[in-house]
C-alpha cells in the first residue's frame, strides 16, 4: 500500500495493556490508541506554522528547516 493510500490515522484497540485487534480506521472507544502517519502530521504542522505565526518571525527557511528536522533530514 502506498503512503498516500494509507489512512491518515488508525486506531488500535487495547485491552489489559495489550493490543488485541488489528486496527480500525475510525475511533471506536476510550481504549483505542490513535496512530497518525508521520507525513500527515508533518504536513499539518507545517500548515499550522505558515498560518499561525501571530507575532513570531518565521521565515520560509525556518519552516523548511523544521520540516526537514521532523523528517530526520
Q: pLDDT tens digits for 40-72?
A: 889 999 998 888 878 778 888 998 998 999 888
Q: What residues does each domain of the chain span?
A: 8-71
Of 25 and 41, more confident: 41
- 27-47 burial, b for 16+ CB within 10 Å, e for fewer? eeeeebeeeeeeeeebeeeee
Band the pLDDT of 24: cuts 50, 70, 90: low
pLDDT above 60 for 1: no
Q: What is the pTM of this model?
A: 0.60
* Percent of the chain's residues with pLDDT above 90: 14
Amino acid at each position: 500500500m502506498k503512503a498516500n493510500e494509507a489512512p491518515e490515522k488508525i486506531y488500535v484497540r487495547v485491552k489489559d495493556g495489550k493490543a488485541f485487534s488489528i486496527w480500525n480506521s475510525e475511533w471506536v472507544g476510550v481504549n483505542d490508541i490513535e496512530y497518525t502517519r508521520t507525513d500527515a502530521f508533518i504536513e499539518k504542522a507545517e500548515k499550522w506554522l505558515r498560518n499561525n505565526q501571530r507575532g513570531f518571525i518565521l521565515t520560509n527557511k525556518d519552516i523548511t528547516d523544521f520540516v526537514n528536522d521532523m523528517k530526520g533530514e
